[in-house]
Structure 1
Amino acid sequence: MTPDQSKAQVISAARDVVTTLALKGASANFSRDSCNDQGEAPFRGRVVIAYDHAPTLEASQAEVQQMIAMLKQHGWGAPGDFRTHAPAVSKQGVTAVFDVYSPVQNSGGSISLYGECRDVTTKQNTVPEQVPADQLS
């Protein structure tokens, strides 16, 4: 998989998530991340989507469960062998991991999409870059 293909894979999945869930205030950034702790190949594309999330922990947890149910109705399924403690679903080699909003930490309320670990051309992790809004709709 080329760097362009790894980027296209997660951008396409992000567009699917944003449109399927009709996310309000959605913005995203893209980066390439190593699939190991040594920062070596293989790499994968990663998109993090921020959106207008529910204002409380409980509401955010319920919102995420509704989002997962909606995505499952649109072809997303179990995350397979992707390991995370967060709620997650996968489709066509991309795993979406949901970070519930925590008002105590003032963090979360985002969705991270991880592509396949098949980019052996990239040499290092990349700094996140903004995904143009027209690529999400």
Structure 2
Amino acid sequence: MSERFPKPELYRLTEQVGFNLRRANQRHVAIFARHVTGLTPTQFAAIARLYELGALSQNRLGRLTAMDSATIKGVVERLAGKGLVQSRADAEDQRLRIVALTDAGKAAFLEAHDQALKARAETLQTLTEEEAAQLEALLEKLV
């Protein structure tokens, strides 16, 4: 019977790209949580984009932070609940929501920024600077 169904090459989970990407992300999220208090990585990504680019439509903010519409909606609602962003209808198109940082949101970004950089450094600490740059370039190429 075993000849009829030859044994496939062993599937090693730890050699799978998706598995290792997920493990790396889980590790980074845990490190981020130790360094940055009061914001999740997705919340930080949203306020970082708003700090960098200014007010954006909620849809565009979602695209720029790689979040689907349901996720960005929840993130914006939680940030608004913390007083870090304001969301209002667009004056020209009432269907669109415009999201902007509040003064408290700007302060929260500036406070979290240095801590986020420390989290990044800890995540990449086992790599040389060249390896870290190569990893970031390869990840960008994948997505």
TM-score relative to the length of structure 1:
0.34
- Flag the structure with higher strand content: 1
Q: Which has the larger radius of gyration?
A: 2
TM-score relative to the length of structure 2:
0.33
- Flag the structure with higher helix content: 2
Tell me: higher relative CO, structure 1 or 2? Use CA pairs within 8 A at least 6 residues apart.
Answer: 1
